[in-house]
C-alpha cells in the first residue's frame, strides 16, 4: 500500500514537447496523492538555462540542474566537448539521486534526460520513460536500454525498443486545457462571437518561417477573423516584437481582433475553448491536444525533425480528415492564407469538426498513473 512518503524524480526537456507531458503527469500525481492524503515529494532534473526550467519553476516544483550535452548525428567539435558535459551530468545525477532517494524516475526524453536515467539504472531505481512521437528520438533510444518500462503514445514506436518493456498509454495531457470557458474567453479577449478565431503557434520555441509567412497576410485575415498568435522565442524573440509592432500599426477594429503572446501559459484553456482553426507545428503534444479538444488544424511540420517525425505526427490527424499539411518547402504567404480561407469560410470547417466529433481520442494520464503506482509498489 502506498502510504510512505512517495518520492518521484521527473526529467526531460529541451522543448515544450518534452516538458509539458512531464508537467501534465506531475499535476495528475499531485491531485491524486492530495486526494488520497498520501505524502509525496517531486523533484525535477533539467538543464540550467532551458525551457523546462522556466516552465517547471513557474509551478513551484523543486528543480535541480545538471550539466548536459547534445548527441548530434553529424560531425561537430561540440560532440567531443559535450561528451564531458554528459559525463559530468551523470555524476551530477548520481549525487541528486543519492540525496533524494526516489522510488521511481519518470523521463519524457530530450538530451538532458539521459544522464539521470543512466544514473538511476546504476542506483537500481525503477525507470519509466515516455515516448511522445511515432519515431523515437535518439535520447529515448539510448534511455530505453536502461528503462524498466517504456510508455508509448503511438504503437508504431514499439519497433525502436525491446517489445517486452513497452506499453501503450497515450500521451499525458494537461487537465486544465479541458477547463476553458467560452464566455470567459470572449469577454477576456473582447472578441466578436460571430467571427471565427484562428490560433497560430510554433510551440514554445516558435517557428520563424511560420511567423514570417503569417505576418505578411495577417492584416487581410483580420478583416474576417479574430487571431491569437503565439510567436514563441523564435529569432531571439524578435518575432514577438515584430508582431507587436504590426498590431500597434493596425486600425482599431483590427487591433481589437489581434492578440499576441510570446508564450501562452494560464490562458491556454480559454483560448482552446474558442479556437475555430489552429495553424502550427506538429509536435506530438500539439497534435494530441488538438485532436482531444476537437480542433481542426493546418500543420507545417518541422522539416529538420528527426526522421520527419512531425509530418508523421500530423498524418495521424490528417487521416481523420480533420486536418491538412503544408510542408515547409511549399509554404508561402499566399498558399497558407488560401488554405486558411478555404477551410474557415466554407463548409470544410463543419466537415472537419464533424469528423473530429466521431473520434474517441483520450489522454494517457490515468494509464500512466496506474503504471507509476504499480512500479512504485514493486519498489516498496
Which residues, in sequence order, are CB contacts of 98 under 8 Å at separation 6+?
A: 123
- Distance in Å from the first CA to the final CA of the chain: 9
Q: Are strands 323-325 and 149-152 parallel, antiparallel or unpaired?
A: unpaired
C-alpha–C-alpha distance, residues 331 and 16, integer Å:
24
Beta strands in 122-221 (DSSP E): 127-131, 149-152, 166-168, 197-201
194: left (phi over 0), alpha (psi -120 to 50) or beta: alpha
Provide the 8-state DSSP code for 152.
E
Domains of the chain listed by start with CATH number: 6-172+364-379 (3.40.50.2000), 176-357 (3.40.50.2000)
H or E element in which residue 8 lies: strand 6-11
Q: How many residues does the chain have?
A: 380
C-alpha–C-alpha distance, residues 134 and 131, integer Å:
8
C-alpha–C-alpha distance, residues 291 and 333, integer Å:
26
Burial grade of 96 (CB within 10 A; 0-12, 13-18, 19 or more): buried
Instruction: Supply the pLDDT for residue 380.
Output: 66
CA distances from 205 to 85, 173, 264, 345 (A): 23, 19, 11, 30
Which residues, in sequence order, are CB contacts of 327 under 8 Å at separation 6+?
A: 300, 301, 303, 311
pLDDT tens, per residue, the chain with 380 residues? 566 799 999 999 988 889 999 999 999 999 999 999 999 999 999 999 898 999 999 999 999 999 987 665 555 656 667 788 999 999 999 999 999 999 999 999 999 999 999 999 999 999 999 999 888 988 999 999 999 999 999 888 999 999 999 999 999 999 999 999 999 999 999 999 999 999 999 987 889 999 999 999 999 999 999 999 999 887 788 999 999 999 999 999 999 999 999 989 889 999 999 999 999 999 888 999 999 999 999 999 998 876 788 999 999 999 999 999 999 999 999 999 999 999 999 999 999 999 999 988 778 999 999 999 999 988 76
State whether residue 30 is helix, strand or coil.
helix
Instruction: Supply the pLDDT for residue 218.
Output: 98
* Sheet hosting strand 323-325, strand order edge to edge: 258-261, 226-230, 197-201, 277-280, 297-299, 323-325
Instruction: Supply the pLDDT for residue 76.
Output: 60
Buried b (16+ CB within 10 A) or exposed e, 223-249: eebbbbbbbbbbbeeebbebbeebbee
Instruction: Supply the pLDDT for residue 72.
Output: 55
Cβ(11)–Cβ(116) below 8 Å: yes
* Nearest alpha carbon to residue 133 among 17, 48, 270, 34: 17
Beta strands in 293-361 (DSSP E): 297-299, 323-325
φ, ψ at 10 (rounded to 5°)? -110, 145
Amino acid at each position: 500500500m502506498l502510504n510512505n512518503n512517495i518520492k518521484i524524480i521527473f526529467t526531460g526537456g529541451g522543448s515544450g514537447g518534452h516538458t509539458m507531458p512531464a508537467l501534465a503527469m506531475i499535476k495528475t500525481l499531485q491531485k491524486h496523492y492530495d486526494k488520497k492524503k498520501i505524502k509525496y515529494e517531486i523533484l525535477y532534473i533539467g538543464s540550467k538555462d532551458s525551457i523546462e526550467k522556466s516552465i517547471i519553476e513557474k509551478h513551484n516544483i523543486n528543480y535541480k540542474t545538471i550539466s548536459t550535452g547534445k548527441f548530434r548525428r553529424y560531425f561537430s567539435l561540440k560532440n567531443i566537448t559535450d561528451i564531458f558535459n554528459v559525463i559530468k551530468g551523470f555524476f551530477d545525477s548520481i549525487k541528486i539521486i543519492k540525496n533524494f532517494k526516489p522510488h521511481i524516475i519518470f523521463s519524457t526524453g530530450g538530451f538532458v534526460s539521459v544522464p539521470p536515467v543512466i544514473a538511476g539504472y546504476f542506483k537500481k531505481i525503477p525507470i519509466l520513460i515516455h515516448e511522445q512521437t511515432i519515431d523515437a528520438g535518439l535520447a529515448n533510444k539510448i534511455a530505453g536500454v536502461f528503462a524498466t518500462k517504456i510508455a508509448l503514445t503511438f504503437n508504431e514506436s514499439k519497433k525502436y525498443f525491446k517489445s517486452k518493456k513497452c506499453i501503450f498509454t497515450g500521451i499525458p495531457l494537461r487537465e486544465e486545457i479541458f477547463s476553458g470557458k467560452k464566455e470567459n474567453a470572449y469577454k477576456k479577449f473582447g472578441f466578436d462571437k460571430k467571427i471565427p478565431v484562428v490560433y497560430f503557434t510554433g510551440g514554445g520555441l516558435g517557428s520563424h518561417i511560420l511567423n514570417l509567412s503569417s505576418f505578411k497576410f495577417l492584416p487581410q485575415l483580420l478583416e474576417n477573423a479574430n487571431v491569437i498568435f503565439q510567436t514563441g522565442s523564435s529569432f531571439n524573440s524578435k518575432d514577438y516584437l515584430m508582431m507587436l509592432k504590426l498590431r500597434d500599426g493596425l486600425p482599431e477594429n483590427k487591433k481589437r481582433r489581434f492578440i499576441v503572446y510570446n508564450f501562452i501559459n494560464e490562458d491556454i484553456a480559454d483560448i482552446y475553448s474558442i479556437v475555430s482553426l489552429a495553424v502550427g507545428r506538429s509536435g506530438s503534444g500539439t497534435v494530441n491536444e488538438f485532436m482531444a479538444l476537437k480542433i481542426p488544424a493546418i500543420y507545417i511540420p518541422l522539416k529538420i525533425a528527426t526522421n520527419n517525425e512531425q509530418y508523421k505526427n500530423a498524418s495521424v490527424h490528417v487521416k481523420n480528415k480533420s486536418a491538412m499539411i503544408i510542408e515547409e518547402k511549399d509554404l508561402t504567404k499566399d498558399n497558407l492564407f488560401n488554405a486558411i480561407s478555404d477551410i474557415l469560410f466554407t463548409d470544410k470547417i463543419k466537415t472537419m469538426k464533424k469528423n473530429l466529433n466521431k473520434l474517441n481520442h483520450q489522454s494517457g494520464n490515468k494509464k500512466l498513473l496506474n503504471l507509476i503506482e504499480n512500479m512504485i509498489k514493486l519498489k516498496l
